[in-house]
Amino acid sequence: MLLSNTLKSILQVPCLTLHSGSTEIIMTRALFLDRDGIINVDTGYTYKTQDIVFMEGIFDICRNAQQAGYKLIVVTNQSGIGRGYYTEKDLHTVMAWMQEKLAEEQITLDKYYYCPYHPEGIGQYRRESNDRKPGAGMLLKAKQEFNILMQDSIMLGDKPADMEAAWRAGVGRKLMLPHTGYPTSPYADRILTHLREALKEFPAFA
């Protein structure tokens, strides 16, 4: 009982305050989420609201993580923009709709980061970018913007690139729900067979 209460107390601590001279820095933890295949079913270049089907268990995972003091941050490769399948405006429209649906479940998505670039893209989008996973760019931007304690944070993704990006960014816990056709990753700390298994990361609220 003592161990359980102690664990619950730790999980309920949302942030850490550091003092540097006269400056107070509030540090926090984050649950980094890939989008397609984790938040919604990956149907391939999903950008229309009518095509969004939320993954079973994702609402409970986000809600429990939020109650445990984690920021909820999406980091998603969106090469469909770079390939000309849809626009950045299309992405923002569908993400705004998804945020509304999450809000209906008492979930606040703190921010989403996306990378539209691809080596085989068109026009201005045809280039390499450290933001594109397995690069760590998006996670490091979030770290700077939200003062995130990366070692105390979690990455939840479905592809090897998600795990490698999290490893490069110093994320302490990396959970992988392997996407059909993709191998598991040596960077993953835990392989899931069902998304709901991630609830075990937040035992005080499961």
Tokens matching residue 174: 């990396």
Name the active-site residue from 34, 60, 158, 162: 34
Residue 165, amino acid: A
State yes or no: is 42 an active-site residue: no
Question: Given its phi and psi angles, is residue 65 left (phi above 0), alpha (psi -120 to 50 degrees) or beta?
Answer: alpha
Nearest-10 crossing angle of helices 160-169, 137-146? 50
State yes or no: is 34 an active-site residue: yes
What is the largest distance, in Å, between two alpha-carbon atoms of the chain?
A: 60
Residue 191 main-chain phi, psi, to 5 deg: -105, 125
CA 84, CA 44: separation in Å to the nearest integer?
14
CB atoms within 10 A of CB 42: 18
Residue 181, amino acid: G
Residues whose CB is less than 8 angstroms from the CB of residue 100 and which lie 6 or more positions away in sequence, other chains included? none
Residue 173, amino acid: R
Cβ atoms of 188 and 174 closer than 8 Å: yes
Active site residues: 34, 36
